[in-house]
Amino acid sequence: MRTRRSIALMCLCLLYGLRASADEKGKPAAGPATVENRVKETELTTIKLTPEAERRLGIELVAAERKTIAQSRRLPGEILIPPGRTIVVSAPVAGLVTLPSSAAPLPSGGQRVERGAALLRLQPGESRDGQNFAPADRISLARAKADLTAARSEAEGQLEQARVRLGAAEIKLKRADQLRQEGAGAQRAFDEAQAEVHLSLSQRDASQERVSTLSRVLESLESGDQAVVLIDAPLDGYVRTVYAAPGQVVPSGAPLLEVVAIDPVWVRVPVYVGDLGDIEAGGSARIRGLTDGPHSPARDAKRVLVPGSADPRAATVDLHFELANPDAELRPGQRVSVELPTRTTGDSLVVPHAAILFDIYGGTWVYESVSPQAYARRRVEVRNVVGDSAALTRGLAPGAKVVTAGAAELFGTEFGIGK
């Protein structure tokens, strides 16, 4: 009897243990971490508007579509001063350097000057203590007049040559343009003729400025009022370097100051010779700062054809672009990022650049219309920006309608800063 009870008790214990093991196997094992209230990025907040609110915000939709657009390449560039835009002002005769007036400020580096503004005054042949002309000074003054006359004659000859070259270049440009419009000429020939006109025009202006400066100084010396020769700014720009100070006696031909014009500026872009054939000839470039992304505002620069320069050690060829710089924000020698158009095209999903929004971390988003008056924010990856279009790598399906006008208002509404 006792043996039967023992056997029954053992069977009950065994059944209980098997049942407990089965219950433990059915439960999921506890992990090292748990995530509560998980929200997927594809299930973000959906904004629903009333028809009146949608009309008040001026919501406009554009469908994302696949297009074949030209690809671009980003390369480093350097800001340069165009030829003929840097002038070193020298003393026409030996004399004492003074200021134009007692109230005139001393020229300094970085000072903005206008063409024709008096910067310094030169008293020819006068010693530091204000004595009269010495015989040696009179000989030096006569020699200076002869040198100035010869220099003006030479400058007038250069000016006439520049005018002839400019006229020939304009005729060549007109012929190249006519052939291009008729389909019998190449675009490259037209671009080269246009660059030749641009360079000839710069040479003519520089020669004209030299003739005017020499004539003005020579007239001042020949007028009999030889006690004062005003040193004027030869162009609109900035004083880069000052070589002489008031009270200093300088010889004839000594440099007094250097004036540089930095509007416009040139951008030099070294391109690897293996990639040169892929760059669009005659295309414009887009200039940004080194740390700016492809979505940052850019400045357009037009191609300038100049005598070629290259670096054989780096196997690069230099391309030059002209860029307006009215606010003098770009400095000579400054490094910039240059986006060059290429001949390579690719099929990409494209949306208007106005539809792209940026968060505080640099993430790019768009608002997609998921139903009438309902919009969901989607993360997208922008490959590059071409004009007003943004090429996407991922984030949307073709045909998805995104918000262009009113996207910023939706962003503010979602995060509680909109009205």
Q: Are residues 103 and 67 in the same domain?
A: no
Q: Are residues 275 and 253 in the same domain?
A: no
- Highest mean pLDDT of the ranges 77-86, 89-98, 244-253, 286-295: 77-86
Residue at which a domain ends, from 209, 242, 260 = 260
Q: Are residues 104 and 240 in the same domain?
A: yes
CA 165 – CA 202 distance, rounded (Å): 11
Domain range for 250:
86-260
Please tell me the total count of domains within the chain: 2
* pLDDT score, position 128: 46
Q: Are residues 92 and 183 in the same domain?
A: yes
Q: What torsion, rounded to 10 degrees, do the Cα atoms 387, 393, 396, 400 define?
A: 40
Q: With contact defined as beta carbons under 8 Å apart, do 155 and 210 qualify?
A: yes
Residue at which a domain ends, from 230, 260, 290 = 260
> Which pLDDT tens digit goes with each residue over 109-146?
888 888 888 888 887 754 444 444 454 555 555 666 66
In a domain, 48, yes or no: no
Is pLDDT above 80 for 392?
yes
Q: Are residues 252 and 385 in the same domain?
A: no
Q: What CATH number is associated with residue 284? A: 2.40.30.170
Closest CA to 108 of 235, 233, 257, 248: 257
Q: Are residues 378 and 273 in the same domain?
A: yes
Q: What CATH number is associated with residue 106? A: 2.40.50.100
> Which pLDDT tens digit goes with each residue over 265-279?
899 999 888 888 878
Q: Are residues 221 and 351 in the same domain?
A: no
Please classify residue 71 by burial: count the beta carbons closer than 10 Å to its beta carbon, then call 0-12 exposed, 13-18 middle and 19+ buried.
middle
Q: What is this structure's pTM?
A: 0.54
Q: Are residues 211 and 70 in the same domain?
A: no
